[in-house]
Structure formats: structure tokens, C-alpha cells
């Protein structure tokens, strides 16, 4: 079974719920990322503006938000329909993917947090702001790896269950 088939199995099991989860998480993180990058404002009116120099960051933030929505939906599906226990490997991969997408150095919040540490904070801020695009690319790659890994776990579990019983669809 291919890894893309794992996505199809998840969506086919309950399309409204899983597409809703993907959309809901995407919207939440898209708003948060754009607020942190100062592209979206809610006061005094709702205002959204992408300056030319922030286009790359906006694209990577949007991709990260979508991949996070997909990752959350896949994790919920895996918990619900498999016998997978909450182990250290599972938690660390999902947590690493979540943290990498919310890179504090990639937003204005990071500059505030890091500047608290004085000279060391200035050095870290300079280093992180110079490599902001690289860190976002790395973040997207980690999220893609996490989605790929979780699809593999779902596909592996489904293929084992399909061999045992033709009527048993992925442990449901």
C-alpha cells in the first residue's frame, strides 16, 4: 500500500471530520503565523498586506500551516483507528514537526524573546534573521518528513490488517 493511499483511507473514513480538522488547524496556524509575521492585523480593522520582501515567508508559512493541519488529522486518525500506543518516538516526531514550524526566530516574537538575553541575544538574533528563509525551508522539510512517516505507519498498519481480514478496513 502506498503512502498516498493512507491519506485516501483517512479521508474516506469520515471526510467531513478529517477535512474539517485539516481546514480548522490550517486556519488557526495561518492566522497565528501571519500575526507573528505582522502581515495580518485585527485592530482597528482587519487588514492583510504582503510586502514584496515578505512573500517568501508568507508562502512557507502557508505551506507549514497546511502541513500542520494534515499532520494533526493524520495523528488523530492514527490514534483512533490503530492499536498504536503513545510512545516516545511518536510524540517526539510530531512535537519536533510542530516546533519546527513555529520557529520563534522566524517571527517578530522571536526577536522580542531573544533580545531579552542582551549581547548573546543580539548575536543569536542576527544569526537567526540571516537564515530565516533557510530555517523555514528546514521547517517545511521536517513537516513533510513527519507526514511521510505517519502515512507510512498508517499504510503499514492497514496492509497488515487487510491481509488478516478482507472486511477489516485498517482496524476499524
Closest by Cα among 63, 80, 65 to 25: 65
Which residues does 2 contact at the CB level (< 8 Å), separation at least 6?
155
Question: Residue 101 and residue 95: Cα distance in Å, rounded?
Answer: 10
- pTM value is 0.78
- Please tell me the predicted confidence (pLDDT) of residue 160: 47
Domain residues of the chain, as ranges?
A: 3-164
pLDDT digits (tens), the chain, 172 positions:
577 888 888 888 889 999 999 999 999 989 988 887 888 888 888 888 899 988 988 898 899 899 989 988 988 888 887 766 666 555 555 666 666 555 545 555 566 666 677 677 777 777 777 787 888 888 888 889 888 888 888 877 765 454 444 334 554 4
- Please tell me the predicted confidence (pLDDT) of residue 27: 95
Closest by Cα among 79, 86, 77 to 9: 77
Question: Residue 57 and residue 135: Cα distance in Å, rounded?
Answer: 10
Beta strands in the chain (DSSP E): 40-41, 47-48
Is residue 93 within 8 Å of residue 149, measured between CB atoms?
A: yes
Question: Residue 21 and residue 26: Cα distance in Å, rounded?
Answer: 8
Q: Give the helix/strand (H/E) hosting 50.
A: none
Q: Tell me the pairing of strands 40-41 and 47-48.
A: antiparallel
Amino acid at each position: 500500500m502506498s503512502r498516498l493511499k493512507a491519506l485516501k483511507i483517512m479521508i474516506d473514513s469520515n471526510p467531513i471530520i478529517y477535512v474539517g480538522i485539516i481546514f480548522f488547524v490550517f486556519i488557526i496556524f495561518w492566522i497565528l503565523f501571519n500575526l507573528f509575521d505582522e502581515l495580518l492585523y485585527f485592530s482597528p480593522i482587519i487588514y492583510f498586506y504582503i510586502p514584496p520582501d515578505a512573500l517568501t515567508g508568507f508562502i512557507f508559512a502557508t505551506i507549514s500551516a497546511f502541513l500542520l493541519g494534515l499532520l494533526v488529522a493524520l495523528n488523530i486518525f492514527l490514534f483512533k483507528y490503530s492499536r498504536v500506543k503513545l510512545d516516545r518516538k511518536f510524540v517526539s516526531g510530531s512535537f519536533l514537526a510542530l516546533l519546527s514550524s513555529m520557529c520563534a526566530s522566524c517571527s517578530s516574537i522571536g526577536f522580542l524573546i531573544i533580545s531579552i538575553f542582551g549581547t548573546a541575544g543580539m548575536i543569536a538574533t542576527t544569526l537567526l534573521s540571516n537564515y530565516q528563509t533557510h530555517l523555514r525551508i528546514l521547517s517545511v522539510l521536517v513537516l513533510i518528513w513527519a507526514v511521510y512517516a505517519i502515512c507510512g505507519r498508517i499504510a503499514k498498519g492497514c496492509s497488515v490488517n487487510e491481509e488478516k481480514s478482507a472486511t477489516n478496513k485498517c482496524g476499524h
